[in-house]
Chain A
């Protein structure tokens, strides 16, 4: 029995040494881990998809490998509804190495509008961003770090305003309806494309339409233009105007504006 007691004593001492060595080296190695975020950049819009890229450099100078690393982000509106989410993975960061990871957040304004977030086109707001970083340290310790921050959202069609409609005779068969309108592009992407305007009479028929080009750089002064619509000279009154936006970032419409 004495031999058994001695053997167990040795085993306990050995396990303590292993555990303390492991714990000390894990804490030491954790302080050798560096995460350096580089400047984020916005890629050109392709097929209406806006991509924000956030590069990170992971420098693992510690004694243990980092595996199954993931970086996830979730953007929610002020009501807590998730607008988009994105995640990036890195299977392994070997010890003593530096690995780059580009975390891309891609979103389509058109899809966001279809999902019920059309107010983001017109209203500036604050968005909530949840970011989490997960990894398995030293192959046995899963760790997750998460944080929450707010981000200002600039609407691409902020302060969209239609001016007073002016009607003037154009020729013997048509009259010209001019509708001035303006908006401010508060977003971080450029707005290129066209805006189409339809005039609808009281019977619900489209009696005329006009189109104008749009080029509004991000954070630029208000974009102002006037759309001319030529309408046949028939006695009628107008019920509404329908606006259709077809830009590089999104397509939206109709936006119905009643005409008095």
Chain B
């Protein structure tokens, strides 16, 4: 069965979706990502969907729930590189993915993750002092 690779990049996970998503694949990915976060103790997950031309309501919802799951496991999620057509479709479907961070490309997504983790550390640091 085909799988979407999850790459470990320092303390982040990088997921690049390069094939058309179908529902089974999405569910597998969700399992794999949560497993991987627990196994590696990753602090952030970046999902690159720049190759994805079609996103239906199920995949949209899956992205949202994946972000919520990651947050419970103490990891930030950033969805990067969404195509204009996909963004319009999701808005028309009424899915604005509130709670999911977004960035234009992997570069900017990485900055966002680093900044938010630095902020978190700073916050927890001030508490412990």
A associates with B: no
Instruction: Name A residues whose Cβ lies closer than 8 Å to a Cβ of B.
Output: none
